[in-house]
Chain A
Amino acid sequence: MDESRPIFIQIAEQVENDIIEGRLPEESQIPSTNEFAAFHRINPATAGKGVNRLVEDGVIYKKRGIGMFVTTGARDMLVERRRTRFADEFVRPLLTEAAKLGISATQLSDMIRTEGTSP
Chain B
Amino acid sequence: MTDTATPVVRASGLTKTYGSFTAIDGIDLSFEENRIYGLLGRNGAGKTTIMQLLTGQIFPDGGRLEVFGREPAEHVDVLSRICFIAESQKYPDSFKPKHVLESAPLFFPHWSQGLADELIDEFRLPLNRPIKKLSRGQLSAVGVIVGLASRAPLTFFDEPYLGLDAVARTTFYDRLLTDYAEHPRTIVLSTHLIDEVSNLLEHIVLVDQGRILIDRDADEVRGSATTVAGTRDAVESFVAGREVIGRDGIGGLASVTFMGALDALQRREAHELGLELAPVSLQQLIVHLTGADLSAEKEVVS
CB–CB under 8 A between A and B in the complex? Answer: yes
Contact with A along B173-207 (1 / 0, CB 8 A): 11001101110000000000000000111100000
Asked if A96 and B272 sit within 8 Å, CB to CB, the answer is yes
Asked if A6 and B222 sit within 8 Å, CB to CB, the answer is yes
Asked if B173 and A43 sit within 8 Å, CB to CB, the answer is no
Asked if A88 and B219 sit within 8 Å, CB to CB, the answer is no
Which residue in B173, B181, B199 is a CB contact (below 8 Å) of A34? B181
Chain A residues whose CB sits within 8 angstroms of the CB of B49 once the complex forms: none
Given A42-B200, A46-B202, A93-B271: A7 and B222 interface contact (C-beta under 8 Å): yes
Chain B residues whose CB sits within 8 angstroms of the CB of A2 once the complex forms: 279
Contact with B along A30-50 (1 / 0, CB 8 A): 000110011011111110010
Which residue in A4, A40, A44, A100 is a CB contact (below 8 Å) of B274? A100
A1 within 8 A of B: yes
Chain B residues whose CB sits within 8 angstroms of the CB of A42 once the complex forms: 177, 199-200
Given A44-B180, A46-B218, A96-B271: A6 and B223 interface contact (C-beta under 8 Å): yes
**Residue on A with the closest CB to B267?**
A93
Which residue in B181, B271, B278 is a CB contact (below 8 Å) of A37? B181
User: Which residue of B35, B222, B271 has the most chain A CB atoms within 10 A of its CB atom?
Assistant: B222
A17 vs chain B, min Cβ distance (A)? 19
User: Which residue of A4, A43, A96, A100 has the most chain B CB atoms within 10 A of its CB atom?
Assistant: A43
**Residue on B with the closest CB to A6?**
B219
Chain A residues whose CB sits within 8 angstroms of the CB of B219 once the complex forms: 6-8, 46, 49
Number of A-B contacts (CB under 8 A): 70
**Residue on B with the closest CB to A3?**
B281
Chain A residues whose CB sits within 8 angstroms of the CB of B35 once the complex forms: 45
Given A46-B202, A46-B218, A100-B274: A3 and B282 interface contact (C-beta under 8 Å): yes
Chain B residues whose CB sits within 8 angstroms of the CB of A7 once the complex forms: 199, 218-219, 222
Contact with A along B10-44 (1 / 0, CB 8 A): 00000000000000000000000001100000000
Chain B residues whose CB sits within 8 angstroms of the CB of A3 once the complex forms: 222, 279-282
B296 within 8 A of A: no
A23 within 8 A of B: no
Contact with A along B97-135 (1 / 0, CB 8 A): 000000000000000000000000000000000000000
Asked if B274 and A88 sit within 8 Å, CB to CB, the answer is no
B136 within 8 A of A: no
B75 within 8 A of A: no
Which residue in B178, B202, B220, B280 is a CB contact (below 8 Å) of A38? B178
Chain A residues whose CB sits within 8 angstroms of the CB of B278 once the complex forms: 4
A5 to B178, CA, bound (A): 24
A62 within 8 A of B: no
A93 to B268, CA, bound (A): 7
Contact with A along B213-248 (1 / 0, CB 8 A): 000001110110000000000000000000000000
**Residue on A with the closest CB to B227?**
A4
Asked if A5 and B199 sit within 8 Å, CB to CB, the answer is no
Chain B residues whose CB sits within 8 angstroms of the CB of A37 once the complex forms: 177, 181
A52 vs chain B, min Cβ distance (A)? 12
On B, residues with C-beta under 8 Å from A are 35-36, 173-174, 177-178, 180-182, 199-202, 218-220, 222-223, 264, 268, 271-272, 274, 278-282
Closest 7 CB pairs of A and B: A4-B279, A3-B281, A34-B181, A6-B219, A42-B199, A43-B202, A45-B202
Q: Can you show 27 pairs from A to B with CB atoms below 8 A apart?
A: A3-B279, A4-B223, A4-B280, A5-B222, A8-B219, A33-B181, A34-B178, A34-B182, A37-B181, A38-B174, A41-B173, A41-B177, A41-B199, A41-B200, A42-B177, A42-B200, A43-B199, A43-B201, A44-B177, A44-B180, A45-B35, A45-B36, A46-B199, A46-B219, A49-B219, A93-B268, A96-B271
